[in-house]
Amino acid sequence: MSGTPVIIDTDPGIDDAVAIGIALASPALDVRLITTVGGNVNLENVTDNTLKLLKFWNKSVRVAKGAEGPLVRQLVDASSIHGASGMEGYEFDGTARECLSDKVAVEATYETLMASDEPVVIVAIAPLTNIALLLKVHPDAKRKIARIIMMGGTITRGNKGVLSEFNIATDPEAASIVFNSGIDIAMVGLDIAWQALILPGDIDKIRACGRTGKMLTALFDHYRGGSMKTGLKMYDPTAMAYLLEPGMFETTTAYVGIELAGSLTAGCTLVDLKGYLHQEPNATVCTGIDADGFRDWFVSCIKNCG
Ligand code: RIB
Ligand code: CA
């Protein structure tokens, strides 16, 4: 199969579901593996949800279960945003159980990386626990990772804490390992999705996109990341958009520090745009997006999902 080799690390999650659908339908991508991690909801549910999506879109991609929760901290899920199952609102017709690997995420990822004849892009749209474990268990994996494009962090305000974003704040220790790994990282933070809400007019177009449109709008009706009336915050699709259409984004390079010890600020991403911390930049940080272009791209991708 041609296309950029990709591994998706995910915790579906309604916005994850859209990002996964976009990736699976894109001729530009070769999705080699999907790994799951406890995040939005527990590991069993995020894995089941991944397998439901593969059956829905009739795609055969290897899935490997990863960490149940963060390296050190307790998992506090986001079921209030995505519903108890993580994809509340639509009755899926079974799961592609045959896609589930008997290997855990770290081993399946390592195997996939080492078997690839070219470095692989990791799209991380969940807490970074699996990626951190990979780097600790198989440090030589780094040379086969082209870059990590992550939905995570924020330049401004938070959605988990006052200043912290869910994926990073769920497992700050994992995020610190990843940001200090030396791997080429692109950070697509909360600020981006907030600049490019999916508006009611877009949702009407999506509703008309066949069975995928029916399924996604049923999920959107239960998604608490924004609303169908005021606009939806489609976080994970912004990371997929950066991979597929980077020209829609404004970026800068900066040192991103992960706060671990703060009693009030643990899990914050300190995006040092002015060099106050005197550290070498460790990430490309998205600072802006062509909001209308993203909305048009988003709808057209969903039309392609079939
Ligand atoms: O903060 C948004 C992120 O947390 C998204 O990845 C969403 O799916 C949740 O995991
Ligand atoms: Ca997610």
Q: What is the mean pLDDT of residues 36-57?
A: 98
pLDDT of residue 2: 82
175-230 pLDDT, tens per residue? Answer: 999 999 999 999 999 999 999 999 999 999 999 999 999 999 999 999 999 988 99
pLDDT of residue 306: 83
Q: How far is the CA of 139 from the centre of ligand 2 (A)?
A: 25
Model confidence at 131: pLDDT above 70: yes
On average, the pLDDT of the chain sits at 97
pLDDT of residue 228: 87
pLDDT of residue 1: 60
Ligand 1 residue neighbourhood (C-beta within 6 Å): 11, 13, 15-16, 39-40, 78, 125-126, 151, 159, 165-167, 190, 235-236
Q: What number does the ligand 1 atom closest to the CA of 82 have?
A: 8
Model confidence at 25: pLDDT above 70: yes
pLDDT of residue 296: 98
Banded pLDDT at 77 (limits 50, 70, 90): very high
For the chain, the DSSP string reads --SEEEEEEE---HHHHHHHHHHHH-TTEEEEEEEE-SSSS-HHHHHHHHHHHHHHTT---EEEE--SS-SSSPP---HHHH-TTSSTT-------GGGB-SS-HHHHHHHHHHH-SS-EEEEEES-THHHHHHHHH-GGGGGGEEEEEEE---SS--SSSSSB-HHHHH-HHHHHHHHTS---EEEE-HHHHHHS-B-HHHHHHHHTSHHHHHHHHHHHTT--SEETTTEE--HHHHHHHHHH-GGGEEEEEEEEEE--S-TTTTTBEEEETT-TT-----EEEEEEE-HHHHHHHHHHHHHHT-
Of the chain, the percentage scoring pLDDT greater than 70 comes to 100
pLDDT of residue 238: 98
Q: How far is the CA of 126 from the centre of ligand 1 (A)?
A: 6
